[in-house]
Structure 1
Amino acid sequence: MKQISSTAIIELALNLATSLNSKDRFDRLLDTVRKTITCDAVALLSYHGDVLKPIALQGLSRDTLGRRFHIAEHPRFVAICQSKSPIRFAADSPLPDPYDGLLIDRAGDLPVHSCMGLPLYYDDKLLGLLTIDSLTPHDFEDIEVRTLEVISAMAAATLHTALLLEQLESRADHSQRVVAELTEGAWKRDGGELIGDSPVMAQLKQEVDIVAGSDFNILIYGDTGVGKELVARTLHQKSLRQHGPMVYVNCAALPENLIESELFGHVKGAFTGADKNRAGKFSLADGGTLFLDEIGELPLAAQSKILRAIQSNEIQPVGQDNVEEVNVRIIAATNRDLKEEVAQGRFRADLYHRLSVYPIRVPSLYERVGDVQLLAGYFIEQTRRKLGITQLKITEPAIAHLTQYDWPGNVRELEHVVSRATLKARARQRGKAIIVIEPADCGALICTETESTIELVADNGVSLSADKQTNFPLKVETENFQRQLISRVLKEEEGNWAAAARRLSTDRANLNRIAKRLHIKVLKSVV
């Protein structure tokens, strides 16, 4: 019988006690598990009602971190979640394995293999699972039950500590949700999680945590498709108004002659067609949050009316003499530069300052180093469920193909590319249990390098640029700058990739990927 040594227990306890953050704790936990039990893959998943979320893994493809496993769709997960003790599945178990096709060391279907799952309970509450897989059949049969119970207890304590420190405990569904009735289609979709662990995303999440609990008005800005709506929803869910409604208003879609009625409501007979009283968006959002999307598209006349409502917390429905008090928090979003709009006289300066008490910028996808793979995994799992595919995976070359693209359409474009790639891959591999997305399924993904010149014209209208100007394609110039910077830092660090990565504020794996794309190599010689 295989037993866990007292040395391993002490080492794990000391490692967890000295860990500075949850990621460090999780990594050390998995390291110790692999030292104790010989295996090819181990994963820690947190439990969220009907979904399991991977939070740390070894031996599985990194895009697995972006997946969200719906328990009811995976019989092995159902069995583990319903058990109070560790479960070892027979090597020839007919139950499909949720990691089929996802192990790094195994391409294609999983053969007969060893698999077990440890439910992690703390105070009789299921917090998550620890799954362990080996490509060697019957590899776990001789492990002593006590060994697995000790690992389960240590893993549960680690997960419980992390959940308390980072406040990651699942929140109960709110009985007074009215969002589904008040918001548009995009708000009715599954999801609502800020996916990504890049430095810029870590900063964004920190900004959200800082301001969410306040009642300040917030201006969210960023390029089209970066996920401004998702940030707004996250702010609402983390706020003290989370039990209240969140009402969505697309300012760009409001007819100019009906803006006042849509926002503040009207009484019966106020104008032709007003055959009954109608509450406006401000009234519907009373006690909650009003999300004004595309706020930069509002005409100046409407801006003044919104300003008055924000200043006084009062509205006056069209056709009504008396005013009504409302308690609404405003979150606005735009892809325009409102400071420039104010300078050009297209946006009121006083409204801009009222809205931007706490401005939050959502980064573009090209800035989010390392997040493309996580987002791809998230969208792959969503698409798999929508299309009813048993298992869907993406190859490393396909991930590299996606990572090298600049994503002018940001996260929304990535989602669409994954959806199209899935359809192409399914058509190409019809009838197969595991559908694999290859680079060809993702399309060319070629950034268009627009070359432009500026012509100088004198006061008399005569052109001052007789010869064609030199063009500077942005992508080429950016890559040249990256190549020079990385090369210089590597030389200064004497070829030490880890030290260079620290100086460049990125992780070593990503620095290696960028260097490979830019054809940068470190040659070492023995003298």
Structure 2
Amino acid sequence: MMDDALLADLVTELPTMVRLQRLVQTLHHHFHCGAAVLLRLEGDSLRPLAAVGLAREALGRRFVVAQHPRLAAIMARREPTWFEPQSPLPDPYDGLIDEQVGEALAVHDCMGVSLHVEGECWGALTLDALQAGTFDMDARRDLQRYTLIIEAAIRMTRLEQENRSLRLARSGVLETELAGGEGEIIGQSAPIRALLRELEVVADSELPVLLLGETGVGKELFARWLHLHSRRRRKPLVHVNCAALPESLAESELFGHARGAFSGATTDRPGRFEAANGGTLFLDEVGELPLSVQAKLLRALQNGEIQRLGADAPRQVDVRIIAATNRNLRDSVRDGHFRADLYHRLSVYPAPIPPLRERGDDILILAGHFLELNRARLALRSVRLSPAAERALRAYAWPGNVRELEHVISRAALRLLSRGASRSDILTLEPELLDLDASAGGVGTEPVAAPAPVDEAAAHGLEEVGLREQVEACQRQAITRALRAADENWAQAARQLGLDASNLHKLARRLGIK
């Protein structure tokens, strides 16, 4: 019966993810288990591609094989691996199986097998159950017998991937280089899928892209994704934070300077444009550039030509521009703060990035990603969200978007440890640990919660950090008020506070506002 279902899917034309999801559903039903998960090996980590029976947030986790003994044992063998119910090895899914209904129960029966396609390790299949004895000898023999069919189903998904690889090969990019890593966008919501489809088309062009979105949505990550999927992938990606450039040095930073151009210029120095020659230049917070520099930037975009400060001759550069802003540049043009011609040159392809509150279950998937990072960083056996905490995350407006979510999860994990939780237990984050009310703000504003130096101190056994906490709270409030008054213009907020713009950015990052 199961053979018929698996074989029927092999001869049916199905989208990749549909085929893989049907595969794990069939396995889940046949083995009567709590969870069936298909994981793809990407570098040193296993990424869940399709799953039945796992908490939603588990799909955002990236399991570093070396940090999970059971996964390491499965990946070390070609034959199926079964673990005794009394095995002392922690299971990566402890506390994450849907059947647990909010209870922090450990997995009691587990088996899995590494999967190989065309002689190379592709990933793994894991089957987990809460009841000991679920996987008897017959079940283990079945897994051995079905492994070849499972691998055949995975092989059927290769056509789509090979077509994509052929398209990328025009620029010398290997598909394996794009899997996971720093360019990965985590999320499965309709807005994110639609955005990535658009960006995949424009990535292979030479068009400038203007990334638009609120603070904390991940504009830098999307810029990196565009570069990794472009024909310039093997050349540099140079990041410039325009808001952190002092006006007096902005021209030199971007275009370089000649010896003697100004006091202290003792040697010739190339700028960021020359550093990015042949690659991509990412102009973050481009709306903060001084008008005097905007004119020279326009010339570089129009003619591919720059001139070092104090030099006589121009230089040719081959640079693709990706810009980002959380400001409304049309309003800046209207108010005379941004050149209209530069705006039209940069916004050939505007790409609005959806805020986190519009991404549905991506909130839980991203939370799972940050939970796994904190599990490894804090040497925890397992850490997860309670159902009530999941509801709280979904209901919150996320004014600070993904960056705020990361800080909330990190702070909650540290707070739980500071209250005496054991690292060897299955830990559960409840809504009060997330402290969302305390960090609530209006939609579109900066988060006012820090990534928790206070909790890190508590986690190391310090009971009081009252003075520092009060000072940082005052600093946080002052910066937030200044940003609101300046309509999120960091340079203007710095002037109001009497700070250098670069120092304001450093302070904001330390306080968790940026």
TM over 0.5: yes
Distance (Å, rounded) in 2 between the aligned partners of 1:448 and 1:265: 41
Change (3 A) 1:306 1:63: same
Given that 1:33 and 1:151 are in contact with CA atoms closer than 8 Å, whether structure 2 keeps it comes out as no
Change (3 A) 1:109 1:35: closer
* Secondary structure of 2:98's aligned partner: coil
Counterpart code for 2:433: D
Counterpart code for 2:347: S
Counting only pairs closer than 5 Å after superposition, residues 66-77 of structure 1 correspond to structure 2 as 66-77=60-71
Q: 1:128 aligns with which of 123, 126, 133?
A: 123
Given that 1:252 and 1:294 are in contact with CA atoms closer than 8 Å, whether structure 2 keeps it comes out as yes
The residue aligned with 2:35 is: 41
When you count helix as a share of all residues, which structure comes out higher? 2
Distance (Å, rounded) in 2 between the aligned partners of 1:364 and 1:19: 35
* Secondary structure of 2:125's aligned partner: strand
Q: 1:399 aligns with which of 386, 390, 399?
A: 390
Identity of aligned residues (%): 45
Distance (Å, rounded) in 1 between the aligned partners of 2:123 and 2:275: 38
Given that 2:379 and 2:423 are in contact with CA atoms closer than 8 Å, whether structure 1 keeps it comes out as no
Q: 2:437 aligns with which of 426, 434, 445?
A: 445
Distance (Å, rounded) in 1 between the aligned partners of 2:155 and 2:125: 13
Distance (Å, rounded) in 2 between the aligned partners of 1:88 and 1:424: 36
- Residue 18 of structure 1 and its aligned partner are, at CA, apart by 3.5
- Residue 156 of structure 1 and its aligned partner are, at CA, apart by 2.3
The residue aligned with 1:273 is: 264
* Secondary structure of 2:281's aligned partner: strand
The residue aligned with 1:110 is: 106
Distance (Å, rounded) in 2 between the aligned partners of 1:247 and 1:432: 40
Given that 1:127 and 1:160 are in contact with CA atoms closer than 8 Å, whether structure 2 keeps it comes out as no
- Residue 393 of structure 1 and its aligned partner are, at CA, apart by 1.0
Higher Rg: 1
User: Which digits, 9 at most, give the CA deviation of each residue in 1:467-490, with x for residues without a partner?
Assistant: xxxxxxxxxxxxxxxxxxxxxxxx
Distance (Å, rounded) in 2 between the aligned partners of 1:204 and 1:164: 23
Counterpart code for 1:257: S
Change (3 A) 1:92 1:218: same
Counterpart code for 1:15: D
Change (3 A) 1:252 1:285: same
What is the TM-score with the length of structure 1 in the denominator?
0.77
- Residue 173 of structure 1 and its aligned partner are, at CA, apart by 5.5
Q: 1:12 aligns with which of 3, 6, 12?
A: 6
User: Which digits, 9 at most, give the CA deviation of each residue in 1:125-147, with x for residues without a partner?
Assistant: 11111001122323323126663
**5+ residue gaps, structure 1:** 1-6, 175-189, 451-527
Q: 2:160 aligns with which of 162, 165, 188?
A: 165
Distance (Å, rounded) in 2 between the aligned partners of 1:319 and 1:432: 60
Distance (Å, rounded) in 2 between the aligned partners of 1:154 and 1:429: 48
Distance (Å, rounded) in 2 between the aligned partners of 1:145 and 1:448: 53
- Residue 166 of structure 1 and its aligned partner are, at CA, apart by 4.8
* Secondary structure of 2:150's aligned partner: helix
Q: CA RMSD in A?
A: 2.1
The residue aligned with 2:465 is: none
Distance (Å, rounded) in 1 between the aligned partners of 2:159 and 2:223: 24
* Secondary structure of 1:44's aligned partner: strand
Distance (Å, rounded) in 2 between the aligned partners of 1:122 and 1:448: 49
Is 1:214 paired with 2:205?
yes
Distance (Å, rounded) in 2 between the aligned partners of 1:367 and 1:134: 34
Distance (Å, rounded) in 2 between the aligned partners of 1:345 and 1:16: 61
Given that 1:16 and 1:29 are in contact with CA atoms closer than 8 Å, whether structure 2 keeps it comes out as no
Counterpart code for 2:137: D
* Secondary structure of 1:266's aligned partner: coil
* Secondary structure of 2:71's aligned partner: helix
- Residue 164 of structure 1 and its aligned partner are, at CA, apart by 4.4
User: Which digits, 9 at most, give the CA deviation of each residue in 1:271-303, with x for residues without a partner?
Assistant: 110112211000000111000000111121110
What is the TM-score with the length of structure 2 in the denominator?
0.79
Given that 1:264 and 1:318 are in contact with CA atoms closer than 8 Å, whether structure 2 keeps it comes out as yes
Counting only pairs closer than 5 Å after superposition, residues 456-467 of structure 1 correspond to structure 2 as none
Distance (Å, rounded) in 1 between the aligned partners of 2:66 and 2:59: 19
The residue aligned with 1:184 is: none
User: Which digits, 9 at most, give the CA deviation of each residue in 1:158-208, with x for residues without a partner?
Assistant: 33433542579884569xxxxxxxxxxxxxxx7432111111111111111
Counterpart code for 2:399: P
The residue aligned with 1:521 is: none
Distance (Å, rounded) in 1 between the aligned partners of 2:437 and 2:276: 42
Given that 2:291 and 2:339 are in contact with CA atoms closer than 8 Å, whether structure 1 keeps it comes out as yes
Distance (Å, rounded) in 2 between the aligned partners of 1:18 and 1:230: 36
Change (3 A) 1:192 1:386: farther
Counting only pairs closer than 5 Å after superposition, residues 123-522 of structure 1 correspond to structure 2 as 123-143=118-138, 147-162=142-157, 164-166=159-161, 171-172=175-176, 191-433=182-424, 434-445=426-437, 447=440
The residue aligned with 1:480 is: none
**5+ residue gaps, structure 2:** 166-173, 444-514
Counterpart code for 1:152: T
Given that 2:287 and 2:327 are in contact with CA atoms closer than 8 Å, whether structure 1 keeps it comes out as yes
Given that 1:426 and 1:435 are in contact with CA atoms closer than 8 Å, whether structure 2 keeps it comes out as no
Segments ≥4 residues shifted beyond 6 Å = 167-170
Distance (Å, rounded) in 2 between the aligned partners of 1:261 and 1:125: 49
Distance (Å, rounded) in 2 between the aligned partners of 1:424 and 1:305: 49
The residue aligned with 1:88 is: 82
Distance (Å, rounded) in 1 between the aligned partners of 2:277 and 2:156: 37
Counting only pairs closer than 5 Å after superposition, residues 19-30 of structure 1 correspond to structure 2 as 20-30=14-24
Given that 1:296 and 1:338 are in contact with CA atoms closer than 8 Å, whether structure 2 keeps it comes out as yes
Given that 2:211 and 2:324 are in contact with CA atoms closer than 8 Å, whether structure 1 keeps it comes out as yes
Distance (Å, rounded) in 1 between the aligned partners of 2:433 and 2:233: 41
Distance (Å, rounded) in 2 between the aligned partners of 1:445 and 1:157: 50
- Residue 40 of structure 1 and its aligned partner are, at CA, apart by 1.5
Counterpart code for 1:219: L
Counterpart code for 2:340: A
Structure 1 range deviating more: 416-425 or 338-347: 338-347
Distance (Å, rounded) in 1 between the aligned partners of 2:360 and 2:421: 34
* Secondary structure of 2:86's aligned partner: coil
* Secondary structure of 1:359's aligned partner: strand
Change (3 A) 1:276 1:376: same
The residue aligned with 1:100 is: 94
* Secondary structure of 1:133's aligned partner: strand
